[in-house]
Structure 1
Amino acid sequence: MNQSITGIAPSYLPAKASAKPKIPAGEAQADFANTLKAAIQHVNDTQVASNQKTESLAKGEINDLHDVMITAQKASITLETSVQIQRKVIDAYNEIMRMQV
């Protein structure tokens, strides 16, 4: 019952590293900036939607409290997630700055 690694199905073996074309620094920075901008815009959009539904509920225009609470919770979770990501990025940056070259 001695099986060699060649007897394992190919899907279980790691794929060979393929050479990926390098992306120019300017393009990578632009992609990162666009991604970050979109993420911040999404957080802002959820906050605005929550504020609008809360105002509508206070004015009596909306009767569905559940929808307002769900929207508020989504906005809260989105904001908390972005704050946690910011903290992790700052921690990683500080760790890199402490490295000695």
Structure 2
Amino acid sequence: MINNVADMTMTAHLQGLSQPKPNPVQQMGSNFSEMLKTSIAEVNQAQVSADRAAEQIAAGETKNLHGAMIKLEEADISLRLMVQIRNKAVEAYQEIISMQV
């Protein structure tokens, strides 16, 4: 009985090994590009939301200054983060390009 369970476990493990594995580099590339697109869209949405909140305050449509300031600061922080990520990516690219083969 114990041998049968061990045999079944070993068989399942070997079947898992025989199945082709997806290329992790291809997966990472598509995931990274999707993550980057999503992040840019989120930063853009934060900027649009902050602009809308500022316009509402200026027009007197709302008196929620606290909420508007929070949206403005969130948009500012997310934009600064995106700029820093871009700077690091450009810096890494320039370092790779300057390497001698």
User: Is the TM-score greater than 0.5?
Assistant: yes
Distance 1:23 1:43, change over 3 A: same
Q: How many aligned residue pairs are there?
A: 81
The TM-score with structure 1 as length reference comes to 0.72
- In terms of fraction of residues, the more helix-rich structure is 2
Which consecutive aligned stretches of 4+ in structure 1 deviate over 2 angstroms post-superposition? 21-29
Residues in 2 aligned to 1:22 and 1:74: alpha-carbon distance in whole angstroms: 38
Residues in 2 aligned to 1:69 and 1:54: alpha-carbon distance in whole angstroms: 8
- 2:27 corresponding residue in structure 1: 27
Distance 1:94 1:22, change over 3 A: farther
Identical-residue share of aligned pairs (%): 38
User: Which of the pair has more CA radius of gyration?
Assistant: 2
- 1:82 corresponding residue in structure 2: 82
Q: Helix, strand or coil for the counterpart of 1:29? A: helix
The TM-score with structure 2 as length reference comes to 0.72
Residues in 1 aligned to 2:25 and 2:74: alpha-carbon distance in whole angstroms: 35
Residues in 2 aligned to 1:69 and 1:31: alpha-carbon distance in whole angstroms: 33
- 2:13 corresponding residue in structure 1: none
Query: Shift in Å at residue 99 of structure 1?
Result: 1.1
Q: Give the alignment's Cα RMSD to 1 decimal.
A: 1.6
Residues in 1 aligned to 2:44 and 2:74: alpha-carbon distance in whole angstroms: 12
Task: Give the unaligned 5+ runs of structure 2.
Answer: 1-20
Task: Give the unaligned 5+ runs of structure 1.
Answer: 1-20
- 1:52 corresponding residue in structure 2: 52
